[in-house]
Amino acid sequence: MAAKSRAPFPAMHYLRRTVQMGIVVAAAVTGYRFASGLSLTSVEKYCPMGGMATSGSLATQQRFSCATGEFNFALMVALLVLAILARKSFCSWLCPVGTLSELLGSVVGRLKGRTRQVKSGTSLALVVPPRQLDRWLRLLRYPVLFVILYATFRSGELLFRPFCPYYVMFSFHGHNVELWSYALLSIFALGVLIIPLLWCRYLCPLGGALWPFSRVSLLRVRRHAEACTDCGLCDRACGQSIPVATAADVTSGECTLCLECTQVCPAPGALSLAVPASNRRWPRVAVPAVVALLVVGGLWGGSIYAIPSFSQEFANADSAVELRSVRLQVQGVKCVDTAKLAATVFEGMGGIVSFVAYASRNEVVIDFDASQTTVEAIVKTMNGPVYIKSSGEFIFHIYQVLQIDGKPVAKKLVTN
Ligand code: SF4
Ligand code: SF4
pLDDT at 6: 54
Distance between CA atoms of residues 216 and 17, nearest Å = 26
Residue closest via CA to ligand 2's atom 7 equals 265
Q: Residue 222: beta bridge partners?
A: 249, 272
Amino acid at 91: C
Amino acid at 229: T
Q: Is the Cα torsion angle 103, 106, 108, 111 positive or negative in sign?
A: negative
Q: Which of 178, 197, 177 is nearest to 189 (CA)?
A: 197
At CA 89, angle to CA 13 and CA 275, rounded to 5? 95
Q: Which atom of ligand 2 is nearest to the CA of 267?
A: 5
Q: Residue 91: beta bridge partners?
A: none
Distance between CA atoms of residues 70 and 169, nearest Å = 23
Distance between CA atoms of residues 76 and 297, nearest Å = 11
Rg of the chain taking only CA atoms, in angstroms: 25
Distance between CA atoms of residues 8 and 3, nearest Å = 13
Distance between CA atoms of residues 21 and 347, nearest Å = 48
* CB of 271 sitting under 6 A from ligand 2: yes
pLDDT at 411: 62
Spatial contact of 365 and 378, defined as CB atoms under 8 Å apart: no
Which of 260, 273, 284, 291 for a ligand 1 pocket mutation test, highest count of atoms within 8 Å of Cβ? 260
Q: Beta strand pairing status for 352-358 and 323-331? A: unpaired
Give 263 Cα–ligand 1 centroid separation in angstroms: 10
* CB of 229 sitting under 6 A from ligand 2: yes
At CA 380, angle to CA 374 and CA 386, rounded to 5? 125
pLDDT digits (tens, 9 = 90+) for 299-339: 999 999 989 989 999 876 556 578 999 999 999 998 999 99
pLDDT at 128: 84
* CB of 247 sitting under 6 A from ligand 1: no
* CB of 232 sitting under 6 A from ligand 2: yes
Sites in the chain below the pLDDT cut of 50: 1-4, 115-121, 415-416
Q: Which of 22, 53, 100 is nearest to 292 (CA)?
A: 22
pLDDT at 200: 95
Spatial contact of 153 and 57, defined as CB atoms under 8 Å apart: yes
Spatial contact of 400 and 383, defined as CB atoms under 8 Å apart: yes
DSSP state of 282: B
Q: Is the Cα torsion angle 368, 369, 373, 375 positive or negative in sign?
A: positive
Spatial contact of 164 and 229, defined as CB atoms under 8 Å apart: no
Distance between CA atoms of residues 93 and 288, nearest Å = 8
CA distances from 238 to 43, 120, 212, 243 (A): 29, 10, 20, 8
Distance between CA atoms of residues 181 and 194, nearest Å = 20
Q: Which atom of ligand 2 is nearest to the CA of 230?
A: 3
Distance between CA atoms of residues 298 and 72, nearest Å = 9
Distance between CA atoms of residues 90 and 325, nearest Å = 41
Give 131 Cα–ligand 2 centroid separation in angstroms: 20
pLDDT at 315: 74
Give the domains, in start order, of the chain with CATH numbers: 11-303 (no CATH), 310-408 (3.30.70.100)
Ligand nearest to C-alpha 223: 2
Give 12 Cα–ligand 2 centroid separation in angstroms: 17
* CB of 261 sitting under 6 A from ligand 1: yes
Label residue 66 left, alpha or beta by phi (over 0 means left) and psi (-120 to 50 means alpha). Answer: left
